[in-house]
Structure 1
Amino acid sequence: MRQDQIWDAEAARRYDTPGTGMFAPDVLGPTVDKLAALAGDGAALEFAVGTGRVAIPLRERGVPVTGIELSQPMIDQLRTKDADLPVIVGDMATAEAPGRFTLAYLVFNTIANLLTQREQVECFRNAARHLDPGGHFVIELWVPELRKLPLGAPATVFSSEPGYLGVDTYDTVNQRVVSHHFTFDPDYRREARVSRTPHRYIWPAELDLMAELAGFELESRHADWSGAPFTADSRSHVSVYRAG
């Protein structure tokens, strides 16, 4: 299934959760703070801008933001909140946005939506084409949880909470993972709703090599947007690359 088929009208309608989850102030606040500082007096380009979760508050901070987005329903949802934010319809590995930028960024694991290594490298190269010398490319990405896989088992539970269960199934030969999202009524009064999203997972060292191929160098890596140290036990990272 193509990404534009996964992120359909139903997915766009359910994506926004104001004040909770990805939209919680303690999640979104540090994200916007970090990106605004890196953008400085320049403009920012968000790959896979989605419904504007990050782009809209970043724009409210005074940073000019342009988005690239493949899914028209996600753009339509964004438009209910911001009618003027420039959005280029296209793939983040190839789409071109007018102007020059001091910052390009990808949040919440979105680079893994590109399902081949070639496409992921092209995403880095696309960022490099848009950035001024010395500009930054920021990627937020989860760390594959292969250490949690029991011998011979293909899946891990990455989240379990009332009304939601998240399971990742791994294809370690092809470096693929499918995230299965089960949303259900904790009182068992309705059947569960299931959605699935495919990804190609990337190790931090592989990500750094992709960056080098596109002319970037790693400037910093932390476990989250607040700057916590990245360790062997970190479940995700925020990596900041500087363009040559």
Structure 2
Amino acid sequence: MFSDDDAAALYDLLNPWDPGRWPADAYYDGLVMAADTVLDVGCGTGAMLHRAREHGHTGRLVGLDPDRAALGRARLRTDVEWVEGTAADARWQGEFDLVTMVSHAFQCLVTDDDLRASLAAIHTALRPGGRFAFETRHPRARAWEEWNPANASEVVDATGRVLRVWYEVEAVVGDVVTFTGTTADDDGTVLRVDRTGLRFLDAVTLDAFLGDAGFAIEARYGDWHGGPVTDSSREIVTVARRG
């Protein structure tokens, strides 16, 4: 059996938070370290906030996530606030300078209702003038076409076991891609299959949702070095400000 706790540990192995290696991590690390109060929505195992505290952040850091197993790993560090719940569950009012959704967590907001409720809660959680920073995959890059067993990742877990992880698309309906993630032993024995849906919004549709929620676009990038969004961009990186 490959438990939820095992899956959370595997996530950290496959996705180590390392600003020195990954430009996306460096981008968010700079924003977090410059803000006094930070809410990370979809914080997962808490790696970003762990690092911020380890590197001298002295303000308030809060992580929010519905995954209990991931939060179990996050809570190994007790000098950060950890809350179980979704973006739409947030009930803070004017308490944060910065809200983040990193590692494409924003794309988990699949329905219009969930997106509107989540943006409204994030807007309320921010102080006037506070910023919401997140990224989505640019739909024109069609990232899901690379999600197949031929592009499997391989990792050695803490016990020395070799694991293989791959993704396979089940359906593309409108702007929502449904796919499975499979974890297997190196001999091919399947240990776990998870199903996920992600929404790929274009910039125009995204900005309409943000505007309806009371946000103004402060910055928009097509990569992690400040380049513009173009048809060949793989990312839509957004910083939106609460009015």
Normalised by the length of structure 1, the TM-score is 0.79
Structure 2 match to 1:110: 105
- Pair 1:100–1:48, CA change in 2 (3 A): same
Question: What SS is found at the alignment partner of 1:125?
Answer: helix
Quote how far apart the aligned CAs of 1:147 are: 5.6
CA distance in 1, matches of 2:122, 2:187: 47
Q: Per-residue displacement from partner, 1:119-172 (whole Å, max 9, x unpaired)?
A: 112111111101111110011211225768xxxxxx722472554543334432
Equivalent residue for 1:34, pick from 26, 31, 35: 31
Question: What SS is found at the alignment partner of 2:167?
Answer: strand
Task: Confirm whether residue 73 of structure 1 aligns to residue 69 of structure 2.
Answer: yes
Q: Choose 202-211 or 56-65, whichever is displaced more.
A: 56-65
Contact 1:223 1:229 in 2 (8 A): yes
Structure 1 match to 2:160: none
Structure 1 match to 2:172: 171
- Pair 1:210–1:59, CA change in 2 (3 A): farther
Question: What SS is found at the alignment partner of 1:206?
Answer: helix
Contact 1:142 1:237 in 2 (8 A): yes
Task: Confirm whether residue 130 of structure 1 aligns to residue 111 of structure 2.
Answer: no
Q: Choose 217-226 or 163-172, whichever is displaced more.
A: 163-172
Structure 1 match to 2:162: none
CA distance in 1, matches of 2:209, 2:32: 21
Quote how far apart the aligned CAs of 1:211 are: 0.8
Quote how far apart the aligned CAs of 1:22 are: 4.6
CA distance in 2, matches of 1:162, 1:89: 29
- Say how many residue pairs are matched: 223
Quote how far apart the aligned CAs of 1:106 are: 0.5
Quote how far apart the aligned CAs of 1:35 are: 3.2
Normalised by the length of structure 2, the TM-score is 0.79
Question: What SS is found at the alignment partner of 2:89?
Answer: coil
- Pair 1:137–1:45, CA change in 2 (3 A): same
Contact 1:115 1:200 in 2 (8 A): yes
Contact 1:169 1:179 in 2 (8 A): yes
Q: Per-residue displacement from partner, 1:160-202 (whole Å, max 9, x unpaired)?
A: 25545433344324x32123334556xx634355433222332
Question: What SS is found at the alignment partner of 1:54?
Answer: helix
Structure 2 match to 1:151: none
Q: Choose 50-59 or 24-33, whichever is displaced more.
A: 24-33
Q: What is the RMSD computed on CA atoms of the aligned residues?
A: 2.6
Equivalent residue for 2:146, pick from 132, 135, 157: 157
- Pair 1:86–1:11, CA change in 2 (3 A): same
Question: What SS is found at the alignment partner of 2:63?
Answer: strand
Quote how far apart the aligned CAs of 1:47 are: 0.7
> What is the percent sequence identity of the aligned residues?
26
Structure 2 match to 1:201: 200
Contact 2:140 2:232 in 1 (8 A): no
Q: Per-residue displacement from partner, 1:44-102 (whole Å, max 9, x unpaired)?
A: 1111111112122223341421111112111111122x123112221211222476111
Structure 1 match to 2:187: 189
Unaligned ranges ≥5, structure 2? 155-164
Structure 2 match to 1:3: none
CA distance in 2, matches of 1:176, 1:128: 24
Unaligned ranges ≥5, structure 1? 1-6, 149-154
Question: What SS is found at the alignment partner of 1:121?
Answer: helix
- Pair 1:97–1:73, CA change in 2 (3 A): farther
